Structure 1
Amino acid sequence: MYRELFTTGAKAMLAGVFCAGVLMSCHKDHNPAPDPGTGPVITDAMKEDSLRYLMYQIMQVTYGDGGRNASTGLPTYYWNKSVPVLNPFDKQFANADSLLEQMKRYAINPTTGRPFDRYSFLDRDGTLTNKLMNGVSSQAYIAATGSLGLDYAPVLVPNTNKVRLFVLYADKNSPAGQAGVTRGWEITSVNGTTDFNATSASLDFVYNAILKSSSVTLTFKVPNVNDPVTRTINTAGYNINPVLFDTIYTVISNHGPVKVGYFGLYTFASVFNEKGQPTATKIALDQTLGKFASQGIRNLVVDLRYNGGGATTTAEYLDSAIAPASAAGKVMYKYKYNEALTQNLNAAGLASQVNFPANTGGFTLDNVFFIVSRGTASASELTLNNLKPYMNVRLVGDTTYGKPVGFIDFNISMYDNTHQPKYLADLYAINFETMNAKGEGGYFTGIGEDFGAFAHDFVNVPWGDTTDQNIKQVLNYVRTGAYLSIPRNARLAAVPTSGGSLQIPIQNSHPAPNFNGMVDFRMRQKIR
């Protein structure tokens, strides 16, 4: 099919300058240096042409394995039949990203009238794989995105244009976490600037300084501390610890005292790296869940309000730890692929479903509560959806993001005239949809909270504080069997506390550079 898509000149350029292929190899921590030698010099324009061509081939025509075997002739894009035949070398596509954006427009969700695909993207420095697959936030990744290991939220001061800034979370192992920064701290100065407002210029200044810089000096107002705290935070590599906070509450219910375990999880980095070694994520999860098990908790709270997902294997690991013994060996979730892949699962090396292990974690829980929000996406949604057929799953907070589909990571490289691979990008284009054991899925517009379980996210409330509306909802349900009646109107809900009014962030004030998705990294090794 693809032979009819391209001009003779384009094909000659591709054939004459380099051989191109898709590498299912392990992630590169850095891009290979240009190889000296004879022959034409590979320019940036040639690399971009190669990337456009290969991306289109993988999604719409066929995929290969770096030329080691004949290609199978199977497209991998989930909505491939909705996309018309396109010429990736067409001048309307300035680069591979613009071609991908065009391809995402064709499959329309009849419920919303908008494209299904608001998810697919290219990772051009290739280090997102390192972060999710190996649980490491490398220096290269930090330099590219400016992450210091924290996220923040701007809050509009009522009846003004003024903005206050609050830390949402900080990874304990990150530079910010090591500096003691945590949720509830108010940022009062950014590189000496103390006046913030809701204009684009002001919000951009804060965004670039905190999330796009290698170093920033911040002054904080810390709860219960009189004097301001100033920290200069520099980027550095670190092993990701996704557990932000954990605690155990004892609730006096109608049936006596009940222990409730609570922990916050902000990402789904893999529990095992590409070498099969346990990551800091696995260690942190094991420690937290082990603590809960030793204390005999009867209710578990998993706070996913800022969790955009990550590795499907981490969702499976968490589900296996939480699920009751009755789920052992049964279906955890099922995959759905495009028609071509579905008809050739064995040839493609793809699985049709994932089962719970023979032995689950051993908890005996009355309920598992998930605190969710518009920032709860993909692998987070997969986690809670998988458990619904087997236990009491209760959702508190707000409707989730809505992403029942996931990625196979395609590491795309080209071969130069000396047959050396030159890394181009990692392609994350939607390849599969998931459903739980009851066939429940398709939540493209999100999963709603339980009836009566709505709660605001007040960002100036520290982790675990029982004035947090989400936690109040959970504890009230454990105590009485019912949720509180909380109005959605923010002003009615924002009652004064000892620290002043509770603060709700400005919606869509600036998108944080967070990943929303789920990736099955096993498939990058199996697909052939």
Structure 2
Amino acid sequence: MKYNARPLSKKLKLLLFLITAFSGVSCNNDDGSGGFVLPKTAKADQSLVETDITVQNFMWKAMNFWYFWQAEVPNLADDAFALDAEGSQMYTEFLASEDNPADFFDQQLLFNQDRFSFWAEDYETLTKSLAGVSRSNGLEFGLISFSDNDDIFGYVRYIVPNSDAATKDISRGELFTGVDGQILNNDNYVDLLFGDNDTYTLNMADIDGEVVTPNDKEVTLTKQENLAENPVFLTRSFDISGEKIGYLMYNGFTNEYDEDLNNAIGELRSAGITNLVLDLRYNPGGSVNTARLLSSMIYGTNTSDLFLRARYNDRLQPLFNAEDLERNFTDKSSDGSALNRLNFTKVYILTSGSTASASELVINGLAPYIDVVQIGETTRGKNEFSVTMVDDPDHTGAPYVYTPERENKINPSNRWAIQPLIGRNENADGFSDYTAGLVPDIALQEDLANLGVLGDLDEPLLARAIQDITGSTSKRSFSVKMPANVMTSSKMFTPIKDNMYVDDVPKLDLSLLE
């Protein structure tokens, strides 16, 4: 028998890479990794260092495999730690270079342009947050810097129903400059507002002309565990100048409330609306699938039209079936029930700098098909998606990806989770490059001197949308006296922040390499 020696093809090399990756070179778990050892990398050897490197080992291996910018981070290179006599020691000492896993993740594993990947010390806390459950007093607010010093002040955006704040004398538009008698500034606001303190007292303020002036009012608020926020905040319909206008304020893409969202659209449809104003100004994002459902409710029933196409890193992209990377519009919810559909060719969407991720995905995904009129401010610019990862390396076809049914497979000595960016969603036109944000068609900031009541016809952003819908020639002024130049907001201090996440990822298909 004659053997014809030929160089290995790229596909065969990749196949060998994956076989090695999943089989783990060694499956005896002696490196504390659960057997998931990538080729050309040494195993962690705990005996070489005093620092517990269990968490760091999990973080590195999950990031090396899934991270969208893996090829751009030298520390994540497949050959960063050569498998030679010193390999295990080099890799182990690298893992031990940061005692704190949080510092290790932030300082050693992230691409310098990544603003959004993050970690959590407990995966249960993170997954609850993704479901809209958190430790909160229910006050949602923006924070703004004074122009002439380091002090800051807050303004109330809205209050979560059934929360502690909902029982107190505080409402949208009110301002505060201090907490527990201390003036808020850039150095102390995180500890005072988002620290471990269960209860704090806000020192309130007024706007006098264009000056923020403290007053004598105080409001004491207490954070409660497991506060659940229904993101379907407000639904209204109006008859104005012969137009039937629907208004929906939606504050988070939380898939546990998909039925409520579908019902809200159903109510507006039953009311006979012919126009929709979708208010996403305070919506930092969330579930990719919920964004798809909402977009389908607005656009309609053509389930052959592409809503998004996912892009993973260059190493992983060829290993998925193309159809598994595409999501079309749908007429069914996740549980199989029918969606309420408006079948609109135009939608008005209200945005701010706090509008991010899944909110932007709705705008971008609808843009190839219908007229999206964006009113407000430029959005945040979060165009990558993430997935929750835990220390579960043996998850077939999706190592480290959190799956509720596999909680008993997670390393019991490691409750840490990471939420890394693993891909980017593009629309049917192939567009996904909006890291600088999506620019409004009609620019209008919130005015601290005239915030208005949400859902009220005189609230400036809603009023501006109605003016455009009705073609009104009213001489109403939309000038802004005190623009709300927000530096950050309360939602940015929750585990979910401005994250856009997928519930799972397509399974890797090794048959594509045959």
Output the TM-score relative to the length of structure 2.
Answer: 0.71
Partner in structure 1 of residue 421 of structure 2: 430
Rate the CA distance shift 1:414–1:181 in 2: closer, same or farther, 3 A.
Answer: farther
Which of residues 222, 239, 252 in structure 1 aligns to 2:228? 239
1:317 partnered with 2:293: yes
Partner of 2:186: 200
Give yes or no for the alignment of 1:354 onto 2:327: yes
Alignment of 1:78 onto 2:59: no
Number of the residue aligned with 1:20: 34
Partner of 2:487: 507
CA-to-aligned-CA distance 1:346-372 (integer Å, 9 cap, x gap): 5xx992101112566331435211111
CA separation of 1:156 and 1:105: change in aligned 2, threshold 3 A: closer
Q: Which runs of 5+ in 2 are unaligned?
A: 1-15, 18-24, 37-45, 82-90, 208-215, 333-338, 395-409, 510-514
Aligned to 1:111: none
Mapped partners of 2:167, 2:251: distance in 1? 17
Matched, 1:338 2:313: yes
Matched, 1:473 2:464: yes
Q: Which structure 1 segments of 5+ residues have no match? A: 3-10, 23-39, 61-74, 107-114, 271-278, 495-501
Q: Deviations over 1:374-421 (max 9, x none)?
A: 111111111111111221111111111112111122122699xxx972
The 8 Å contact of residues 156 and 173 in structure 2, kept in 1 or not, is answered as yes
Which residue of 2 is the match for residue 249 of structure 1? 238
Asked if the contact 1:457/1:468 (under 8 Å) is kept, the reply is no
Relative distance call for 1:19 and 1:430 in structure 2 (3 A) is: closer
Q: Which amino acid aligns with 1:79?
A: W
- The alignment covers a number of residue pairs equal to 430
1:149 counterpart = 2:138: yes
Q: List aligned pairs for 1:81-160, cutoff 5 A.
A: 81-84=71-74, 85=77, 86=80, 89=92, 90=94, 92-102=97-107, 106=111, 115-137=112-134, 142=135, 147-154=136-143
Alignment correspondent of 1:70: none
Q: Describe the superposition over 1:183-233 as per-residue Cα deviations: whole angstroms up to 9, x where unpaired.
A: 224447744x3x746x3356456424xx6532234577899xxx9685543
Give the CA deviation at 1:321. Answer: 1.2
State how far apart, in whole Å, the 2-side matches of 1:429 and 1:345 are. Answer: 19
- Percent identity of the aligned residues? 23
In the alignment, is residue 442 of structure 1 matched against residue 442 of structure 2?
Answer: no
What's the CA shift string for 1:447-494, capped at 9, x where partnerless? 1111xx11112354331234433223211111218999988xxxx621
The separation in 2 between residues aligned to 1:133 and 1:508, in whole angstroms, is: 20
Q: 2:428 is aligned with what amino acid? A: A
The worse-fitting range, judged by mean Cα deviation, of 364-373 and 375-384 is 364-373
| Residue aligning to 2:43 | none
Cα distance per residue 1:320-346 (max 9 Å; x no partner): 211133x33321111111122112115
Q: Please give the residue correspondences for 1:481-520 in structure 2 after superposition, counting only pairs within 5 Å.
A: 493-494=480-481, 504-508=484-488, 512-514=492-494, 515-520=497-502
CA contact (8 A) 2:352 2:445 kept: no
Report the alpha carbon displacement of residue 520 of structure 1 after superposing the two structures with TM: 0.7
Q: CA deviation at 1:511?
A: 8.3
Deviation by residue 1:144-201 (Cα, 9 ceiling, x = unmatched):
xxx323222345678898765321222224333465854224447744x3x746x335
Counterpart contact for 2:116–2:499, Cα < 8 Å: yes
Task: Answer yes or no: is 1:363 the counterpart of 2:331.
Answer: no
Kept in 1, the 8 Å contact 2:201–2:220? The answer is yes
Corresponding residue number in structure 2 for 1:216: 200
CA RMSD of aligned residues (A): 4.0
Cα separation, partners in 2 of 1:414 and 1:314, compared to 1, 3 Å: closer
Three-state SS of the structure 2 residue aligned to 1:385 is helix
Q: Displacement, 1:430?
A: 1.3
**What's 1:376 paired with?**
355
Q: 1:122 to 1:154 in 2, by over 3 A?
A: closer
Moved more, 350-359 or 260-269: 350-359
Question: 1:238 and 1:97, CA in 2 relative to 1: closer, same or farther beyond 3 A?
Answer: closer
Secondary structure at the counterpart of residue 474 of structure 1: helix
Separation (CA, whole Å) in 2 of partners of 1:390 and 1:311: 21
The one-letter amino acid of 2:306's match is V
| Compared CA separation, residues 398 and 385, structure 1 to 2 (3 A) | same
Using the alignment, how far apart are the partners of 2:363 and 2:145 within structure 1?
32
Distance 2:32 2:392 in 1: 11
* Contact 2:145-2:153 at 8 Å conserved across structures: yes
**Per-residue deviation, 1:269:** 1.5
For residues 119 and 291 of structure 2, the distance between their equivalents in structure 1, rounded to whole angstroms, comes to: 23
Look up the match of 2:373: 394
Distance of aligned partners of 1:511 and 1:391 in 2 relative to their CA distance in 1, 3 Å threshold: closer
Does the 8 Å CA contact 1:132/1:311 hold for their aligned counterparts?
A: no
Specify the alignment match of 1:286 in structure 2: 262
Residue by residue over 1:12-52, the C-alpha shift from the partner in whole angstroms, topping out at 9 and shown as x without a partner, is 9x965845368xxxxxxxxxxxxxxxxx99x9942xx1221
